């Protein structure tokens, strides 16, 4: 899948394609984590491959964050994320999540 | 251990949002300018990463995180980051704080 933004960093291979179902890893390591707590453990669908970028968790510790991690925009159904959600079934929340936080669902 | 960090508030009850207009104080503009310089936004000379900055904001104790204003969080985190990077020392910081305190008298 072509990335939305091409980058030149040495990068981990992109493992997911548009439409793939992925589960967000449910874990809470120490440090700077960009994956919101509320979405961990939930299943969504790859909406796009944004590009590969240095791992922010490593950058936050003053390292270079390489190899770069593929970043995806993942689409989740609001009704599945929030059990008491009152809006229509078609409502979604989209979150940009790095590959190392995702597993095939 | 799966535990939400204090700053990671998505989905938590947050009360009513009351938008207000406000201008920035001079010190807040200076803090913003300092961050822009340290991130190398216009020069490309990056001294710190935004991820280190965020890590240090997120590392504030919960009480401080709730009490400090936006730019108070920034200046606390920038100070930590500059010390961690060795750009300033605690000795220099302490001496400067004494100097500024004397100036006020």
| Range(s) of the domain holding residue B84 | 27-104
The model carries a pTM of: 0.92
What does the pLDDT read at residue B14?
87
Please state the length of chain A: 105
B35 to chain A, minimum CA–CA distance in Å? 15
Concatenating the DSSP letter of every residue in A11-45 gives BPPP---TT-EEEE-----SS---S-GGGTT-EEE
CB A105 within 8 A of CB A23: yes
Rounded mean pLDDT of B60-79?
A: 97
Look up the CATH number of the domain holding residue B67. 1.10.472.20
User: Quick check: B2 pLDDT over 90?
Assistant: no
Instruction: Work out the burial of residue A8: count CB atoms within 10 Å of its CB; fewer than 13 is exposed, 13-18 middle, 19 or more buried.
Output: exposed
Name the phi and psi angles at A24, rounded to 5.
-80, 130
What does the pLDDT read at residue A30?
87
This complex has an ipTM of 0.89
The pLDDT > 90 percentage for chain B reads 90
The pair of three-digit structure tokens given for residue A86, joined into one six-digit string: 């009152």
Question: From CA A44, how far away is CA A97, in angstroms rounded?
Answer: 11
Residue B9 belongs to some domain of the structure = no
Question: From CA A34, how far away is CA A31, in angstroms rounded?
Answer: 10
Domain boundaries, chain A: 21-104
User: Quick check: B1 pLDDT over 60?
Assistant: no
pLDDT tens figures, A13-56: 999 999 999 999 999 888 999 999 999 999 999 999 999 999 99
What does the pLDDT read at residue B22?
87
Which CATH architecture group holds A21-104?
Answer: Roll (2.30)
Q: Which residue has better confidence, B83 or B17?
A: B83
Does B10 sit within 8 Å of A36, measured CB to CB? Answer: yes
Residue B2 belongs to some domain of the structure = no
Residues of B in contact with A37 (CB under 8 A): 4-5, 8, 10-11
User: Quick check: B69 pLDDT over 90?
Assistant: yes
Question: From CA A86, how far away is CA B54, in angstroms rounded?
Answer: 33
Q: How many distinct structural domains can be found in chain B?
A: 1
Q: Which of A58, A60, A79 to mutate to test the interface with B (most CBs of B within 10 A)?
A: A60
Kind of pairing between the strands at A92-98 and A69-77:
antiparallel
Does A32 sit within 8 Å of B49, measured CB to CB? Answer: no
What does the pLDDT read at residue A1?
84
Rounded mean pLDDT of B92-104?
A: 94
The pair of three-digit structure tokens given for residue B3, joined into one six-digit string: 């535990």
What does the pLDDT read at residue B105?
76
Kind of pairing between the strands at A21-24 and A102-104:
antiparallel
């Amino acid at each position: 899948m072509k990335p939305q933004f091409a980058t030149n960093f040495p990068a981990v291979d992109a493992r997911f394609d548009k439409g793939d179902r992925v589960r967000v890893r449910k874990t809470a390591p120490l440090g700077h984590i960009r994956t919101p707590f509320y979405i961990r453990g939930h299943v969504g669908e790859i909406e796009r491959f944004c590009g590969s970028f240095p791992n922010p968790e490593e950058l936050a510790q003053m390292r270079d964050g390489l190899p770069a991690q593929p970043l995806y925009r993942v689409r989740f159904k609001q009704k599945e994320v929030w059990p008491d959600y009152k809006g229509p079934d078609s409502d979604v929340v989209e979150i940009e999540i790095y590959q190392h936080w995702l597993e095939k669902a | 251990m799966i535990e939400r960090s204090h700053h990671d508030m998505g989905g938590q009850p947050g009360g009513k949002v009351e938008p207000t207009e406000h201008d920035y104080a001079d010190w807040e503009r200076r803090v913003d300018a300092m961050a822009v310089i340290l991130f190398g936004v216009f020069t490309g000379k990056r001294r710190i990463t935004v991820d280190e900055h965020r890590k240090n904001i997120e590392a504030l104790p919960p009480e401080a995180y709730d009490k400090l204003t936006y730019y108070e969080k920034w200046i606390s985190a920038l100070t930590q980051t500059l010390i961690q990077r060795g750009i300033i020392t605690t000795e220099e910081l302490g001496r400067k704080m004494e100097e500024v305190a004397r100036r006020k008298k």
